[in-house]
């Protein structure tokens, strides 16, 4: 379900103004996949983007922390 290449490609090419860093984001995405293996991380990333009107980077000092919290909350809701 979750492939690092799909998620990395989305962050790099589809998330407006995302501060893509190949080394940092590869580690970040692999950690997300490990921690939330039963959640569709790509779909949650898309939902995160559009929830913030296609400009999530403007809403967070650190967009990676915001995205991780979003995914963690989705995972917690699913676990309930």
pTM for the structure as a whole: 0.92
- What are the tens digits of pLDDT across the range 15-71? 999 999 999 999 999 999 999 999 999 999 999 999 999 898 899 999 999 999 999
User: Distance between CA 29 and CA 41 in Å, rounded?
Assistant: 9
Residue of 66, 68, 12 whose CA lies nearest to 41: 68
State both tokens at 71. Answer: 């995914």
Q: Where are the domains of the chain?
A: 4-79
Q: Does residue 3 register a pLDDT over 80? A: yes
């Amino acid at each position: 379900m979750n492939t690092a290449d799909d998620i990395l490609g989305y962050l790099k090419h589809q998330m407006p103004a995302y501060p893509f860093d190949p080394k940092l984001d590869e580690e970040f995405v692999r950690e997300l996949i490990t921690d939330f293996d039963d959640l569709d991380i790509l779909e949650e990333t898309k939902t995160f983007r559009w929830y913030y009107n296609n400009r999530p980077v403007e809403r967070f000092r650190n967009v990676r922390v915001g995205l991780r919290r979003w995914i963690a909350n989705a995972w917690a809701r699913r676990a309930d």
